């Protein structure tokens, strides 16, 4: 082609190159547009419900993110899922409080900057300095919710007075109607409290551990079954089980709101607190987004969503969260005692020493407890 042709294109050339240019523009525009609209996926490892629309829906919409949850049941299950996945698989990890130290020891979570989180708003100083969340002065996890485990019962079969003690599980009238949530830790913890171990419920010497096993075995004839999450709901709802060991309001609260005659109380021997905390997964390339999400979940709005979670309710742990909950859902606040001055205010119960944080056994291994649990189920 001569220079003359390039600088003086023919009509055909003009049409040809204009069409090509227009086509290129039209074809590239959708890609540019799609880049602008691209949603950030955040991989979450959590207990069931934390990735559902009622918790994260509003946040997803406001921040153009999409949570991809992987659910587990039990701290051991969580640790195993992380151990078997490449680093960076999970961006945000919701851990039971007592397992954070193991996550940290194994190098699965990132260090956090305390200045990023409003610890001044926590309802109790323990929530800021929760055992295991700090290591060598460095923060690794932020507590976002908690709940209390105790005696869960059918109010038509067990009276409130009877439910004030774990001894109600041995009530002859409910033989074969006592269920267990199929996880050794909370059930054996309750048996330890029944034996009067109090604050030392997880730190059992051989004699105390043998005593816990004996007490547990004595309950076996009362037991109607061992249930997973769904089975626990079903058996309490349809009345097959009249009392359930190893759970609390996180199950009965959902059923109670549906009108089922069930309730949970912290008995006189004491209750166990389950605690859930958020961590940033080591190797995640979305640490900033996760930090922002954790800030949201500890904000009043996030705390109310957490307290009202459809899968299982929990307590708001911040002053702002509790205040907003009382404004937007006073009925739920009353039901769960999250009102300053109420007798069953969870913060009051903690301050009175009636609540013991769930932990892993100190002098036995988890394997020992699980072995005994298998023997108990087979007895």
Residue range at the interface with another protein (CB under 8 A); choices 191-199, 231-239, 261-269, 331-339: 231-239
The answer to whether 83 contacts another protein (rule: CB under 8 A) is yes
Q: Choose the binding region for another protein from 192-200, 252-260, 338-346, 366-374 (rule: CB under 8 A).
A: 366-374
Q: Is 375 in the site for another protein (CB under 8 A)?
A: yes
Does 239 sit near another protein (CB under 8 A)? yes
- According to the 3-state scheme, what is the secondary structure of 314-345? CECCEHHHHHHHHHHCHHHHHHCCCCCCCCCC
Q: Smallest distance from the beta carbon of 371 to another protein, in angstroms?
A: 7
Of 71-79, 117-125, 190-198, 278-286, the segment contacting another protein by CB under 8 A is 71-79
Number of residues that bind another protein (CB under 8 A): 38
> Considering beta carbons, is residue 67 or 99 the nearer one to another protein?
99
Binding mask 96-135 toward another protein (x if CB under 8 A, else -) reads ----------x-----------------------------
Q: Determine if 79 is a binding residue for another protein (CB under 8 A).
A: yes
The DSSP annotation for 94-150 comes to EEEGGGHHHHHHTT-B--B-GGGS-GGGBSSHHHHS-TTTEETTEE--EEEEEEEE-
Closest CA to 41 of 22, 6, 66, 59: 66
Q: How many residues does the chain have?
A: 379
The residue within the footprint of another protein, chosen from 48, 70, 77, 339 (CB under 8 A), is 77
Question: Between 154 and 289, whose beta carbon lies closer to another protein?
Answer: 154
Q: What are phi and psi of 74, to 5 degrees?
A: 105, 140
CB 89 within 8 A of CB 284: no
What ranges in 219-365 are assigned the alpha helix state H? 229-237, 249-257, 287-297, 300-307, 319-328, 330-335, 346-351
- Torsion angles phi and psi, residue 56, rounded to 5: -105, -5
- Assess 253 for contact with another protein (CB under 8 A): no
* Alpha-carbon span 197 to 272, nearest angstrom: 12
Residue 281 per-residue DSSP state: B
Shortest spacing between CB 181 and another protein, in angstroms: 11
Of positions 111, 228, 288, 352, contacts another protein by CB under 8 A = 228
- In angstroms, the CA 217 to CA 261 distance is 28
Contact call for residue 373 and another protein (CB under 8 A): yes
Residue 89 as a binder of another protein (CB under 8 A): the answer is no
Contact 192, 202 (CB under 8 A): yes
| Residue 343 Cβ vs another protein, minimum distance, rounded to whole Å | 33
- Residue 226 sits in the site that holds another protein (CB under 8 A): yes
107: left (phi over 0), alpha (psi -120 to 50) or beta: left
108 vs 274 by CB, closer to another protein: 108
Nearer residue to another protein within complex by CB, 116 or 228? 228
Q: Are 274 and 190 in contact (CB under 8 A)?
A: no
When binding is defined by CB under 8 A, the residue of 257, 319, 323, 377 that contacts another protein is: 377
Judged by CB under 8 A, which stretch of 77-85, 281-289, 339-347, 352-360 contacts another protein? 77-85
Kindly state whether residue 10 participates in binding another protein, applying the rule CB under 8 A. no
Whether the CB-CB separation of 354 and 271 falls below 8 Å is answered with: yes
C-beta separation of 66 from 51 below 8 A: no
Restricting to residues 206-225, name those near another protein by CB under 8 A: 223-225
3-state secondary structure of 183: coil
Question: Of 25, 37, 238, 285, which lies in the binding site for another protein, with binding defined by CB under 8 A?
Answer: 238
Site for another protein in 168-187 (CB under 8 A): 176, 179, 182-184
Q: Are strands 40-47 and 92-96 parallel, antiparallel or unpaired?
A: parallel
Q: What is the DSSP letter of 39?
A: P
| Cβ 85 to another protein shortest distance, Å | 11
Q: Is 84 in the site for another protein (CB under 8 A)?
A: yes
Binding site for another protein (CB under 8 A): 73-74, 76-77, 79-80, 82-84, 106, 176, 179, 182-184, 223-228, 231, 234-235, 238-240, 366-367, 369-371, 373-375, 377-379
């Amino acid at each position: 082609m001569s220079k003359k042709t390039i600088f003086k294109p023919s009509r055909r050339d003009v049409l040809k190159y204009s069409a090509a240019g227009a086509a290129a523009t039209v074809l590239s525009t959708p890609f540019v547009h799609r880049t602008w609209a691209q949603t950030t996926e955040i991989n979450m490892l959590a207990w069931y419900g934390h990735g559902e629309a009622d918790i994260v829906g509003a946040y997803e919409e406001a921040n153009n993110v999409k949570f991809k949850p992987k659910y587990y049941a039990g701290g051991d299950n969580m640790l195993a899922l992380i151990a078997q996945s490449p680093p960076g698989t999970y961006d945000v990890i919701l851990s039971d409080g007592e397992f954070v130290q193991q996550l940290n020891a194994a190098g699965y979570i990132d260090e956090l900057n305390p200045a990023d989180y409003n610890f001044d708003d926590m309802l109790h100083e323990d929530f800021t300095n929760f055992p295991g969340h700090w290591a060598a002065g460095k923060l690794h996890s932020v507590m976002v919710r908690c709940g209390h485990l105790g005696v869960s019962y059918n109010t038509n079969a067990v009276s409130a007075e009877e439910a004030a003690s774990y001894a109600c599980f041995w009530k002859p009238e409910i033989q074969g109607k006592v269920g267990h949530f199929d996880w050794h830790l909370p059930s054996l913890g309750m048996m330890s409290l029944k034996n009067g171990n109090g604050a030392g419920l997880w730190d059992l010497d051989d004699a105390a551990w043998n005593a816990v096993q004996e007490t547990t075995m004595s309950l076996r004839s009362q037991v109607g079954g061992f249930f997973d999450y769904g089975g626990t709901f079903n058996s309490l709802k349809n009345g097959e089980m009249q009392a359930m060991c190893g759970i609390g309001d996180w199950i009965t609260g959902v059923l109670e709101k549906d009108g089922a005659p069930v309730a949970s109380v912290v008995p006189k021997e004491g209750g166990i607190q389950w605690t859930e905390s958020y961590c940033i997964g080591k190797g995640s390339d979305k640490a900033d987004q996760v930090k922002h999400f954790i800030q949201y979940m500890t904000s009043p709005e996030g705390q109310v969503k957490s307290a009202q979670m459809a899968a299982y309710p929990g307590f708001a742990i911040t002053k702002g969260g509790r205040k907003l909950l009382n404004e937007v859902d006073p009925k739920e606040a009353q039901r769960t005692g999250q009102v300053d001055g109420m007798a069953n205010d969870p913060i009051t119960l903690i301050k009175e020493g009636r609540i013991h944080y769930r932990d892993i056994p100190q002098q036995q291994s988890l394997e020992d407890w699980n072995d005994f649990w298998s023997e108990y189920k087979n007895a």
